[in-house]
Amino acid sequence: MSKTIKVGGVGKSPLIEKVNRLNAISSQLDAAAVLEQKVFQSEQAKAQDRLNKRNQIIKDFGISFQSRG
């Protein structure tokens, strides 16, 4: 149902117009979902890289965040 439906007659069928609008909305939502997935996947990878770098710095310099009390 991702293709536009056309009639051979004169005028427009309200049902066909509604189906075409729903298909367009569905396509836009699918595209948005794909973009959202790509953005968050790359952000998660960057966040993991930053965390790994911070952990390496903590390990290299012997930093402890525990209280010494």
Examine the pLDDT at 44 and tell me if it is beyond 70: yes
Rounded distance, CA 61 to CA 52, Å? 14
Q: Is 41 within the bounds of a domain?
A: yes
Please give the residue range of the domain that contains residue 30: 14-61
Residue 35 forms part of a structural domain: yes
Q: Is 53 inside any structural domain?
A: yes
pTM above 0.75, yes or no: no
C-alpha to C-alpha distance for 2 and 10, rounded to whole angstroms: 23
Q: Indicate the number of domains in the chain.
A: 1
pLDDT tens for residues 25-34? 888 888 888 8
The verdict on residue 1 lying in a domain is no
